[in-house]
Structure 1
Amino acid sequence: MQKGLRPIFHSYDVVDRNATTVLLWSGRKFQEENPATFNAVMEAFGRASSLIKSNPRLAAEIYLRVGKEKFTTEFIEKHYTDPAISFAPQPVGVQTFVDFMHRVGTVKSKSA
């Protein structure tokens, strides 16, 4: 952990399971009207997820080079290798997280 930073809690402390908190999505209309763009983004997301799993250090170096963040490579790599954090194209536990957000008033209407 970077000096001065510490976790207060994780999403699984709140919703009793790991949950995807960062998602990519689009409407069906966009997918149908822009299939090449949609497929390219999904392919890139899948490749990025695979790289994070197979070579977290290289993924961290690329992230820092492109994003120009002030964190260290070790800081990012530690997050990439934390078993409580998952980087995958398939969302996990989103409904549980949304239900919690509805319960505390962050989301007004409950989804089906």
Structure 2
Amino acid sequence: MNTLKVLLISLSILSLTGCITTPEMNSEHVAVLWSEQGDMDICELKGTLIGSQGHWYDYLFITNKDLTQGAINQLRNDALTLGANTVFLYKPKVFTTSVTLLANAYVCPLD
């Protein structure tokens, strides 16, 4: 394979790595809690969310930190869509090529 083909293939793969979910405006106001935190009995359940970042073709080019942040951004963005102000995370799912988080979205009283 000549150098130009290798370069074009490399650039094509790297262009796919820019696909991390970015936070929407006001999503930083959505609280993120782990399963060990808080009493959710005082909150109204709005729905279940799945945040996932990474694919078999790009996980080598994106740091775990960025994959995790992208998954959290996706959860917060989806929570906003449901009108929720809190995301309650459960134990992360372990995959080799991606980060996937399962959560419930709630509307909780603000302190």
Q: Same fold (TM over 0.5)?
A: no
Question: As a proportion of its length, which structure holds more helix?
Answer: 1
| Higher percent of residues as strand | 2
Q: Normalising by the residue count of structure 2, what TM-score does the alignment of the two structures yield?
A: 0.24
